[in-house]
């Protein structure tokens, strides 16, 4: 679980970009949101992150929001992130 959070927060092989907007020292600043015609920023949005393109190229473009598979903020990913964060908080909290 902690490894999963570390990956989301930017500890992954591709770069040090956090996949949660506004979380971490370097996070996603351009996302693919409701209005796809502009360079939108969604605070707290979680993006899918790194894609593996054929044959084996990693890609995570930070400056182009129209690649929806890399930069789209979706509700179910945000909900999963919240549950993962709450579980980690519960494990590290002292009672």
**Can you tell me the mean pLDDT for 61-90?**
81
Give the model confidence (pLDDT) of 3-60 as tens digits.
888 888 888 777 888 888 888 888 877 777 666 656 777 788 888 877 777 776 666 7
- CA-based angle 47:14:11, to the nearest 5? 75
- Can you give the pTM of this predicted structure? 0.74
Least confident of 32-36, 40-44, 69-73, 85-89: 32-36
Q: Computed over its alpha carbons, how large is the radius of gyration of the chain?
A: 14
- CA-based angle 13:25:78, to the nearest 5? 75
Strands (E), the chain: 51-53, 57-59
pLDDT value for 36: 63
Largest pairwise CA distance in the chain = 49
């Amino acid at each position: 679980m902690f490894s999963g959070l570390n990956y989301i927060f930017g500890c992954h092989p591709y770069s040090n970009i956090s996949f949660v907007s506004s979380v971490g020292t370097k996070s996603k600043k351009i996302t693919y949101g409701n209005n796809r015609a502009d360079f939108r920023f969604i605070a707290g949005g979680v993006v899918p992150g790194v894609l593996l393109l054929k044959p084996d190229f990693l890609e995570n473009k930070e400056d182009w929001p129209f690649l929806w598979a890399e930069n789209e903020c979706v509700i179910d990913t945000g909900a999963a992130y919240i549950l993962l964060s709450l579980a980690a908080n519960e494990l590290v909290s002292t009672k």
